[in-house]
Amino acid sequence: MNRSSCRGLAVIAAVTAMVLVGCGGDDEPAADADAGRLQIVANFYPVAEVATRVGGDRVRVTNLTPVGVEPHDLELTSKQVDRLEDADLVLYLGAGFQPALEDVADRLGDRAIDLTRGVGLQKGAAEAIEAEEAAGEEAEEAATEEHEEHGATDPHFWLDPQLMSKAVDEVADALATAEPSAAASFRANASGYKRELTKLDMDLEQGLAECARSEFVTSHAAFYYLAERYGLQQLPIAGVSPEAEPDADRLATLADQIRAKGITTVFFEELVSPKVAETLARETGAATAVLSPIEGLTQEELDADKDYAAVMRDNLAALRAALGCR
C-alpha cells in the first residue's frame, strides 16, 4: 500500500480503525490526522489488531511486519528503528520471536512492553523442541546461543483465545498508563473485544469436542497452545521457528505417524513455502490444506476484511474437516 492511500485511510480511521493495520512497514504517519493520538508500533499482525481494537481512535498503530512477510526473526531497516525510537509505545513479543526488535526494545525502557511476560509462556511441544534442536545442530553458533538465552519457550500464545485475552488486558494496561485520561475508554474497548474472544473460544471448544482424530500435522510448531487448550496434538514438520527445517529422520517419523494414525491432511501456511508439506502429503496419500498461524494476514485476507477471529474460524473449519469432528 502506498503512502497516499495510507494517508487517505488515516482520515477515515475513526470509523474503520482496523484498516490501518494493513498499512505496515515504513509509511510515514499523516500528521494532521494523527494530532494527539498515541503513536504505537506493534511487532506483528495480532498485536497490531489488539492495539487498534483497544486504542480505537485514540491511537495510531503501525505494524512493523509488512503484509505477506513471515515475522520470525524479522530484520529491521534503519527507518523502522527510527520509528521504534520515536513511538510513544512499542508492543512486542520477546522469547526470541524477533531478536532484532528485542535488541531495540531493550533500549526503550518502559515505552516497550513485552506481552509474553504477562501471558506466561510454556516450553511448547516436546516434538517441536526436538525438531528445532535437530535443525540447530547445523545452525550457526550465534543462533544457538540466542535460542538458549531465551530458554526455548514457545511464543505462539495468540493461537489460544484465552491467552490472547490476557494480552488484551496487558495492552489495555499499557495504554491506560500511557494516556490515563482515556483509561476508561481503553478498558471498555478491551471488554468488548474480549467478549468476541470468549465467543470464539466457546466455538472452538464445541467444534473440536467430538472428533475422530486428535493429531494434526502442521508446517511449523505454532499450534502448541491451541492444541493444549482443545485437547489436540500438533505434529509439526519444522520447529518453533519456520526456519528450523526438518531432517530426513523427522520426515520419515512423520510419514509413519500419518499412515499409522490415518491422518488425512498435512497443513501448510501461506507465508512459508509449502514444498515440504506437499512432499509429505504426496508420500503418504494425504491431502494438503491451509492452517494459519496468524503471524500475518495476506493481502487477500485484509481485502476480505478478515481479522484474527475470522481466520481462527477458518482454522476451526479446516481442523474439523481434517480431524473428522461431529
- Residues of this chain that interact with Zn ion (CB under 5 A) are 222
Identity of the residue, 222 or 255, whose beta carbon is nearer to Zn ion in the bound complex: 222
Residue position matching grid coordinates 477471529: 309
Identity of the residue, 46 or 161, whose beta carbon is nearer to Zn ion in the bound complex: 46
Residue position matching grid coordinates 530484520: 75
Dihedral in degrees, nearest 10, Cα atoms 144, 238, 117, 37:
110
Q: Which of 266-290 are b and which e, b meaning 16 or more Cβ less than 10 Å from the residue's Cβ?
A: bbbbbbbebebbeebbeebebebbb
Identity of the residue, 69 or 183, whose beta carbon is nearer to Zn ion in the bound complex: 69
Q: How far is the CB of 221 from Zn ion (least distance, A)?
A: 8
Distance, in Å, from the CA atom of 304 to the CA atom of 283, rounded to the nearest integer, reads 34
SS3 278: helix
Identity of the residue, 6 or 222, whose beta carbon is nearer to Zn ion in the bound complex: 222
- Answer positive or negative: Cα dihedral of 97, 98, 104, 105: negative
Q: How far is the CB of 295 from Zn ion (least distance, A)?
A: 5
Q: How far is the CB of 262 from Zn ion (least distance, A)?
A: 27
- Could you tell me if 42 and 23 are in contact, meaning their C-beta atoms sit under 8 angstroms apart? no
Q: How far is the CB of 156 from Zn ion (least distance, A)?
A: 6
- Could you tell me if 281 and 258 are in contact, meaning their C-beta atoms sit under 8 angstroms apart? no
Identity of the residue, 55 or 94, whose beta carbon is nearer to Zn ion in the bound complex: 94
Identity of the residue, 174 or 222, whose beta carbon is nearer to Zn ion in the bound complex: 222
> What's the Cα-to-Cα distance from 237 to each of 54, 129, 267, rounded to whole Å?
35, 11, 10
Q: How far is the CB of 269 from Zn ion (least distance, A)?
A: 9
Distance, in Å, from the CA atom of 186 to the CA atom of 176, rounded to the nearest integer, reads 7
The three grid cell numbers given for residue 185, joined into one nine-digit string: 475508554
Q: How far is the CB of 145 from Zn ion (least distance, A)?
A: 20
Q: How far is the CB of 36 from Zn ion (least distance, A)?
A: 36
Q: How far is the CB of 294 from Zn ion (least distance, A)?
A: 9
Identity of the residue, 176 or 276, whose beta carbon is nearer to Zn ion in the bound complex: 276
Name residue 287's beta-bridge partners: 265
SS3 294: coil
Is residue 261 within a helix (H) or strand (E), and if so which, with residue range?
helix 248-261
Q: How many CB atoms lie within 10 A of CB 166?
A: 16
- Answer positive or negative: Cα dihedral of 236, 241, 243, 244: negative
Identity of the residue, 222 or 277, whose beta carbon is nearer to Zn ion in the bound complex: 222
